[in-house]
Chain A
Amino acid sequence: MKFGIVVFPGSNCDEDCHHVAKDLLGCEADYIWHHDTDLKGSDVIILPGGFAYGDYLRAGALARFSPVMESVAKFAAQGGPVLGICNGFQVLLEAGLLPGAMHINRGLRYVCRDIHMKVENDATPFTSLYPKGSVVRMPIGHMEGNYTAPPEVLDALERQGRVVFRYCDAEGRITDEANPNGAARNIAGIVNEAGNVVGLMPHPDRCAEGLLGNDQGIKMFQSVLTAALASR
């Protein structure tokens, strides 16, 4: 089981993801430079957080044209599990691997704090170890997390159960006050139609061990490990 972690110029959570995969899960893990097209035999691809290409033009807009993204798109089309965290989620949106777009946060500020979110889909390769309906606490740190999509796309996401996480309060109530960035319908994470590409704004990589005061994020990585082992 090998994790491939894509490194764009400006990625800054690549080492966090590598640490989780290698040191905490004991899996193989390798960095994949954005100019490379060889995914090095990875079983899972992670697009980490950061500011790829300085977020010039729009977050994720330039990273999408990196040579590595063609390989990632191919990997995804073949059913390979892909996880985009924060900036990685923005890249997946710009690349069209997930539907929708990001606005600047409604408060016009960078928001860096813990949020709560409800697990709405436990059937993805990255969420199978979270009970459906459970409330997870994770940190966010972003300026553009205000998810949006045309109403018919949002309706399709709902209908097909493709909203994976929704911002809520500590008790699981999905309220406007619990929405840190104005995201449409409190959406924090979604999955593609095929069910193998997941993007979310919160950072499971930053809350994956007790040392950091919160280990709730480790289950996202453990889920995909479990899924990979089961499919062998």
Chain B
Amino acid sequence: MKVEVRVYPREGVLDPQGKAIAAALGRLGHRSVQDVRAGKVFFIDVAGSDPRAVEADAKKMAEELLANTVIEGYDVRVLA
């Protein structure tokens, strides 16, 4: 199965990259941009057919390695 894990700066946590990207978008004329937060996406192929088990596994991966939960949040989506 394929599972997608999104990792991003937690709400309220400073995100220097997102700020810089927002400023750059503004300079390019995208005046509607109010805020950007920049994160990462992991596309993971896993063996297994039970979406719940795969989701639980992916959450464990996020907690243990993919996200630094001091500053980052994450969410998990089982694709198929």
Which A residues form the contact surface with B (CB < 8 A)? Answer: 57-58, 61, 65, 94, 100-101, 103-108, 146, 148-150, 182
Contact B14 A150 (CB under 8 A): no
Which of chain B's residues have a CB closer than 8 A to the CB of A65? 65
Which of chain A's residues have a CB closer than 8 A to the CB of B26? none
Contact B16 A94 (CB under 8 A): no
Contact A57 B20 (CB under 8 A): no
Which of chain A's residues have a CB closer than 8 A to the CB of B14? 103, 106, 146, 148, 182
Which B residues form the contact surface with A (CB < 8 A)? Answer: 13-17, 20, 65-66, 68, 70-71
Measured CB to CB, the nearest residue on chain A to B64 is A65
Our count of residue pairs bridging A and B at CB distance below 8 angstroms stands at: 34
Which of chain B's residues have a CB closer than 8 A to the CB of A101? 68, 70-71
Task: Tell me the smallest distance from the CB of A171 to a CB of chain B, in Å.
Answer: 28
Assuming the A-B contacts A57-B65, A61-B65, are A149 and B17 also in contact, with contact meaning beta carbons closer than 8 angstroms in the complex? no
Measured CB to CB, the nearest residue on chain A to B38 is A104
CA distance A26 to B68 in the complex (A): 40
Contact B70 A104 (CB under 8 A): no
CA distance A107 to B19 in the complex (A): 11
Contact B65 A148 (CB under 8 A): no
Which of chain A's residues have a CB closer than 8 A to the CB of B20? 108
CA distance A108 to B20 in the complex (A): 8
Contact B70 A106 (CB under 8 A): no
Which of chain A's residues have a CB closer than 8 A to the CB of B68? 58, 61, 94, 101
Measured CB to CB, the nearest residue on chain B to A100 is B70
Contact of A182 among B13, B16, B66, B70 (CB under 8 A): B16
* Complex A-B: 6 CB contacts under 8 Å: A65-B65, A101-B68, A107-B16, A108-B16, A146-B14, A148-B13
